Amino acid sequence: MRCFWDARQLAHAPELELHNGAFVPFAESPARAEAILAAIGTPEAAVDHGEARLRAVHSEAYLAFLWSAHKDWRAAGRPGDASGYAWPVVRRRQLSLDRIDARLGAYSFDAASPIAAGTWEGAYWSAQTALSALGAVLAGEPAAFALCRPPGHHCGSDYLGGYCYLNNAAIAAEAAIAAGRKVAILDVDYHHGNGTQDIFYERGDVLFASIHADPRTDYPFFWGHADETGEGEGEGATLNLPLARGADLAAYLPALDAALERIAAFAPDLLVLSYGADTFAGDPISQFRLETADYARVARRIASLGTPTLIAMEGGYAVDALGANVASFLEGFA
Ligand code: OKP
Ligand code: ZN
């Protein structure tokens, strides 16, 4: 399978994550990409498709914020990575505030996504990697893999969160729609893809289906519940299939079949797959029990749809097993 990647994605290298009052190493590390690269062989370099493709999903104001946030942080005399601490949860409204702390609050929904010096560059090329792999699928490949990192599925049109800054899957989906394709998105990361869901929530022309840990127990908590089915023209075009912690392949496959059945009924001519390997039994921040060999079976079932597919990398934090898990998935798909 053709694989895409750009070394500039490594520029995003946040240092630490504050969690439960203690500093812990940042889980979404450049080492994740290195581990995948070591397992899949030499990928093709991403091609720059420009910033206009980003603006099809993200607001101008959000992109301007993301571009300058770390510089603004430093200009304010602050050390390390930029990270917010105050959020407008109550009566959120449009205010044009200058203070970097206010802007971090306005454009984030959690504190899990620090903005480092190279965050814009890394996120920009992660999105370009998704667009480049999409290009291969639009040109006739049955499937292509985008080694996106940082991931994207928690990020909405005007907010970051969950290690995500630009929504790679949504950006690729919009580009595919612009190329005349009917698009479905399947998200199989352990965590619900709340940003992707939000972007397409009122759209009937894009199906969003997701299998993930029940948000009653797991991040992102506030979205991904089974009763979220879309709104307005999008009513019925969102499908959430939350599973209890501890799910193994036997518990996973019925949900996968339900998602695939819905996708087949929607009859897309292009599938964007948000693939996270954090459903792995050994993942340090997740609680499902898929094994390395299971990814080949999951991938084979998804491939059996026969729909041209862009596979975009999302999470997966067991770095020692990550390469093998991704390779198993890609081999199963092919
Ligand atoms: C990103 B992706 C656990 C903290 C969890 C955020 C998780 C983001 C996951 N110690 N914080 O969906 O893999
Ligand atoms: Zn995840």
In the reported structure, the alpha carbon of residue 182 is separated from the centroid of ligand 1 by a whole-number distance in angstroms of 30
In the reported structure, the alpha carbon of residue 192 is separated from the centroid of ligand 2 by a whole-number distance in angstroms of 7
Name the token pair of 31: 């080492």
Determine if ligand 1 sits within 6 Å of the CB of residue 215: no
CATH of domain 2-51+116-333: 3.40.800.20
Determine if ligand 1 sits within 6 Å of the CB of residue 219: yes
Residue 299 and residue 332 in contact, taking contact as beta carbons nearer than 8 Å? yes
Determine if ligand 1 sits within 6 Å of the CB of residue 114: no
Ligand minimally distant from the alpha carbon of residue 219 = 1
Query: So what's the pLDDT on residue 116?
Result: 95
- Comparing 96 with 26, which gets the higher pLDDT? 96
- Torsion of the alpha carbons at 277, 279, 280 and 282, rounded to the nearest 10: 110
CA–CA–CA angle 303, 306, 309 (5° rounding): 65
Helix H, strand E, coil C: the string for the chain is CEEEECHHHHHCCCCEEEECCEEEECCCCHHHHHHHHHHHCCCEECCCCCCHHHHCCCCHHHHHHHHHHHHHHHHCCCCCCECCCCCCCCCCCCCCCCCHHHHHHHCECCCCCCECCCHHHHHHHHHHHHHHHHHHHHCCCCEEEECCCCCCCCCECCEEECCECCCHHHHHHHHHHHCCCCEEEEECCCCCCHHHHHHHCCCCCCEEEEEEECCCCCCCCCCCCCCCCCCHHHCCCEEEEEECCCCCHHHHHHHHHHHHHHHHHHCCCEEEEEECCCCECCCCCCCCCECHHHHHHHHHHHHCCCCCEEEEECCCCCHHHHHHHHHHHHHHHC
> Catalytic positions, please?
154
Q: Is residue 94's pLDDT more than 90?
A: no
Summarize the confidence of residues 153-176 as an average pLDDT: 98
Query: So what's the pLDDT on residue 15?
Result: 82
pTM of the model: 0.97
Q: What share of the chain has pLDDT > 90, as a percent?
A: 93
Query: So what's the pLDDT on residue 8?
Result: 98
Q: Is residue 20's pLDDT more than 90?
A: no
Distance between start and end Cα atoms, the chain:
7
Which tens digits make up the pLDDT trace of 204-217? 999 999 999 999 99
Determine if ligand 1 sits within 6 Å of the CB of residue 26: no
Query: So what's the pLDDT on residue 146?
Result: 99
Summarize the confidence of residues 91-116 as an average pLDDT: 94
Ligand minimally distant from the alpha carbon of residue 161 = 1
Residue 266 and residue 306 in contact, taking contact as beta carbons nearer than 8 Å? no
Orientation of helix 168-178 relative to helix 119-138, angle to 10°: 40
Mean pLDDT of the chain: 96
d(CA 266, CA 7): 36
Q: Is residue 69's pLDDT more than 90?
A: yes
Residue nearest atom 13 in ligand 1 by C-alpha distance? 315
In the reported structure, the alpha carbon of residue 144 is separated from the centroid of ligand 2 by a whole-number distance in angstroms of 21
CA–CA–CA angle 71, 153, 176 (5° rounding): 105
Which tens digits make up the pLDDT trace of 34-64? 999 999 989 999 999 999 999 999 999 999 9
Domain ranges (residues) in the chain: 2-51+116-333
Q: Is residue 259's pLDDT more than 80?
A: yes
Determine if ligand 1 sits within 6 Å of the CB of residue 316: no
Residue 274 and residue 185 in contact, taking contact as beta carbons nearer than 8 Å? yes
Phi-psi region of 50 (alpha: psi -120 to 50; beta: other; left: phi over 0): left
In the reported structure, the alpha carbon of residue 219 is separated from the centroid of ligand 1 by a whole-number distance in angstroms of 7
From 36, 149, 163, 278, the mutation candidate for ligand 1 (largest count of ligand atoms within 8 A of CB) is 163
Q: Is residue 244's pLDDT more than 90?
A: yes
In the reported structure, the alpha carbon of residue 98 is separated from the centroid of ligand 2 by a whole-number distance in angstroms of 32
d(CA 138, CA 136): 6
Q: Is residue 22's pLDDT more than 70?
A: no
Residue 60 and residue 48 in contact, taking contact as beta carbons nearer than 8 Å? no
Query: So what's the pLDDT on residue 253?
Result: 98
Summarize the confidence of residues 260-275 as an average pLDDT: 98
Determine if ligand 1 sits within 6 Å of the CB of residue 276: yes
Ligand minimally distant from the alpha carbon of residue 26 = 1
Residue nearest atom 3 in ligand 1 by C-alpha distance? 285
